[in-house]
Structure 1
Amino acid sequence: MPRFKYHARSAAGALVEGAMEAASASVVANQLTAGGSVPLRIAEEAAASTSAATRKWQLGGQRVNADDLILFCRQMYSLAKAGVPLLRALRGLEDSAGKLVMVDTLSAIQEDLESGRDLTGALGRHPDVFPPLVVNMIRVGESSGKLDRSFDEVANYLTREKQTADQIKSALRYPSFVLVAIAVAVTIITLFVIPAFEKLFSAQGAQLPLPTRIILGISNFAVSWWWAILIGLAAVFFAWRAWVATESGRLIWDRFKLHIPVVGGIIHRATLVRFARGFAMAFGAGVPLIQALGLTARAVGNQFVAKRLDKLRRGVERGDTLTRSAAASEMFTPLVLQMLSVGEETGSVDSMLLEVGDFYAREIDYDISRLSSAIEPILIVVIGAMVLVLALGVFLPMWNMATVMRGG
């Protein structure tokens, strides 16, 4: 006879768990109900362990990304709107989850709920999966009885965030490919092509031009010490990663990204779109102003902008208006500050910030549409410089030798 593990709640409200041998899960449920307990979860022990092992083998341990969160919020919105009990909804999502880390997280959330913890408290114990802004938005929905609406708003917010990030990646894909191709071409020329020319030049015994001697010196160094160059590049990469992981390094790097030619302005506006939409969503749902500012400042993904937005929050805490504090942060354009001022006067800061987010999003769409054409002149200059160096260093002595041979 199979053995079933069960979780139930007694008539006094205490959580009860144990195991029981029975012909089926329904028999266990009937016995628990007859004893005055409400069954919460019943699973066959052997089947459960086999299923868990099978799922671990199938799913692996990938990290949760934006697509996973969007899918989770969409599913929870549909289930909550349909009136499906929370535990049953989470159990169904656990069975259909596509990643092991999501399976483990949903299982842990169910255990927390069964032990008496609320949903947002259970979600908040997994910050690597559920960001603080998402957790606080769901907290508002849970406390106001509008859990389905909160999940829908979070899903829409995450969808817009992903669309903006995908647009930027798509726009940078072409120039990144060109730069990588140029780097590969320079490496091949330095390691293989130029050494072949060196033998030709040495056979002539003529004095080589200075540009040619410099290129040959670089080529000889690269051929002889290529392993040291690779080690040096790896050391620089890992040192940079360690430096960026520090608070000061992250602050400097995030500030530098905002000043990159052509791309920096897009990154800046995309960060402010994230802030405006996140703050509008949180504040419009009832999160207190100071708390909403603090949450969205930490969720923008740029330490430098977060510091400036934290300055905005401190200004509001001191009693300044939102508009004056925003102006002191030096993050917003005059047009946006005017829109914030109108929002404060009319009591519609959340809707006005949504307009700010849409305004920046339209600017980003326009900048991304012309990003390739803006980067092309830079790429042409880089390619032209490489061709000039090769012409001076490699082809110039060949032309000189051809001239000497014709003269001889």
Structure 2
Amino acid sequence: MARYWRACGAVLMSGFLVKAVSNNGTQSEIYIEASSTTDAASKIRARGLTPLSARPGNPPRKKRPPRGAAVAASRIVRELGALTGAGLTVEQALSSLSRYVSSSLMQTVAMSLREDIRAGMSLADAFAARPEIFPPPFPQIAEAGEVAGALPAALNDLADWQERRANFDGEIQGALIYPIILLVLAFVAVSGLLVFVVPRFEQVFADMGAAPPPFAAGVFATARGLAKAAPFILVIGTGSTFLMGLWLRGLEARRSAYAFAHRLPGIGPLLRSMLAARFCRVLAVLLQNGLSAVPAFRLASASLSDDYAKMKLDEALTQVRRGASLPDQIAASGVLPPLAVEIIRVGEQTGELGKATDRLATLLENRLERGARTALHLAEPALIGFVGLIVGVIIVSILLALVSVNDIGI
């Protein structure tokens, strides 16, 4: 694996757990990806914290989000933005929020956030301590708002982004319900025919000592093969899934998997478009809330779930800090589409990088939505036709077998 990354010209990055202290004396242990302990300490200092110690380690295991976490996070952020915009401090806004919300989850989260704020943590750090409720880019955008002194605007922008994403996900999930139900019912129907119906006709021919028609014989052989192979397929599939899950817990393994996905035809361009939409949306929110380009770039990169893309963008950021051009380094990373690189280049030249990335994010999001809807509309008839073909083949073989039995009887 190390030889692979060196061949690609990449800097090997590892995970480190760094103990750090904030300006108010609060200690915390932060997971960060870096090339060495010195690099990890430098990245911690760039966040305004003082590193105390660093050791190799893995990120903390993610907790399973409670039911309704996405809705609760969106509402908390939206109402925090309204309350702080009305002049309340974050602590006062959380106290007010914990008193009047009806959701027990929102009340619990608001009260725990308030206790962290009282202990001296920033809102961004409080969000980061609850990744199951506030996953990236919640902490990153809150940090940008706090740094720029525009927290209410940043929280409102964050709530807008979260609601748009939730609406899109809801539309896709709703559109997938019918194909999934159809696929499950078709699987049950075909399995029932192959397991219970087809063997009975095969037994009829065996009892009569006659050979079935070639077409029916092929279906009979397929049914026998599937019945014998089903336990092995189940064991191999379950074992492979378990081993793959264990393998993907490692940082280098996830990077390898994402790097492989980036190279796949069809999937790679789609993955890069999704990355660009997410990256540019977060970057636009950060820039429009007053953050400068380099820290905004770092926070937008941290909001991505693609470990390979995060590594390549972190390398690009390192070169930018040394004086290299931002668009050139993004192009060299190879993880964003050419359109994104060109629009970022134009935005940097005109001094309107925030507006440029906002327009690009909207363009890519709309394109992805249209593409998803089109794919689903095409998938439904294709799925119906495929299932109908399989069921038709089985029924035709059974009819041929019936006709053959009658001929033998005559």
Query: TM-score, structure 2 length as denominator?
Result: 0.70
Match of 1:114 in 2: 118
Number of residue pairs aligned between Structure 1 and Structure 2: 346
Q: Which residue is equivalent to 1:324?
A: 328
Q: Kindly tell me: are residues 143 and 279 of structure 1, through their superposed partners in 2, closer, same or farther at Cα, counting changes over 3 Å?
A: closer
1:387-402 equivalent positions in 2, closer than 5 A? 387=391, 389-390=393-394, 393-402=397-406
Structure 2 CA distance for partners of 1:246 and 1:197, relative to 1, 3 Å: farther
Whether contact under 8 Å (1:73, 1:155) holds in the other structure is yes
Residue 352 (structure 2) pairs with residue 361 (structure 1): no
CA contact (8 A) 1:266 1:367 kept: no
Report the more deviating stretch, 264-273 or 340-349.
264-273
Residue aligned with 2:137, SS: helix
Q: 2:72 aligns with which of 60, 64, 68?
A: 68
The answer to whether 1:339 aligns with 2:343 is: yes
> Which runs of 5 or more residues in structure 1 are unaligned?
1-60
Aligned pairs for 1:2-401 (under 5 A) are 62-63=66-67, 65-97=69-101, 102-209=106-213, 212-213=216-217, 215-217=219-221, 219-220=223-224, 230-251=234-255, 254=258, 268-376=272-380, 378-379=382-383, 382-383=386-387, 385-387=389-391, 389-390=393-394, 393-401=397-405
How far off is 1:396 after superposition?
A: 3.8
Letter in 1 for 2:115: E
Contact 2:142 2:154 in 1 (8 A): yes
- The percentage of aligned residue pairs carrying the same residue is 24
8 Å CA contact retained: 2:261, 2:268: yes
Task: Look at both structures and tell me which one has the larger radius of gyration over its CA atoms.
Answer: 1
CA distance in 2, matches of 1:260, 1:172: 24
TM-score (norm 1): 0.71
Q: Is the 8 A contact 1:323 1:340 kept in 2?
A: yes
Aligned counterparts of 2:402 and 2:193: Cα–Cα separation in 1:
16
Per-residue CA deviations over 1:194-219 (Å, capped at 9, x if unaligned) read 22222322233212356645543554
| TM-fit CA distance, 1:92 | 2.9
Q: Which ranges of structure 2 fall in alignment gaps of 5 or more residues?
A: 1-64
User: For the residues of structure 1 that align with 2:262 and 2:170, how far apart are their CA atoms?
Assistant: 18
CA RMSD of aligned residues (A): 3.5
* C-alpha distance in structure 1 between counterparts of 2:229 and 2:342, whole Å: 59
CA deviation profile, 1:57-99 (whole Å, cap 9, x unmatched)? xxxx935632211100111112112223433321232345566
Instruction: Select between 275-284 and 92-101 the one with higher mean Cα deviation.
Output: 92-101
Q: Is the Cα contact below 8 Å between 1:262 and 1:371 reproduced in 2? A: no
Would you say the 8 A contact 1:171–1:368 is kept in 2?
A: no
Letter in 2 for 1:356: L
Stretch deviating more after TM superposition (347-356 or 131-140): 131-140
CA contact (8 A) 1:94 1:107 kept: yes
Cα–Cα, structure 1 residues 115 and 299, in superposed 2: closer, same or farther, change >3 Å?
Answer: closer
Contact 1:315/1:325 (8 A) holds in 2: yes
Structure-1 separation of matches of 2:105 and 2:236: 36
Please tell me whether the aligned partners of residues 132 and 295 of structure 1 are also in contact (alpha carbons under 8 angstroms). no
- Secondary structure (helix, strand or coil) at the match of 1:287 reads coil
Cα displacement (A) at 1:344: 1.3
User: What secondary structure sits across from 2:207 in the alignment?
Assistant: helix
SS of aligned partner of 2:324? coil
Amino acid at match of 2:323: G
Say whether the 8 Å CA contact 1:274–1:357 is kept in structure 2: yes
1:164/1:270 contact within 8 Å kept = no
1:16 corresponds in structure 2 to none
Give the SS at the match of 1:74.
helix
Equivalent position amino acid for 1:94 in 2: S
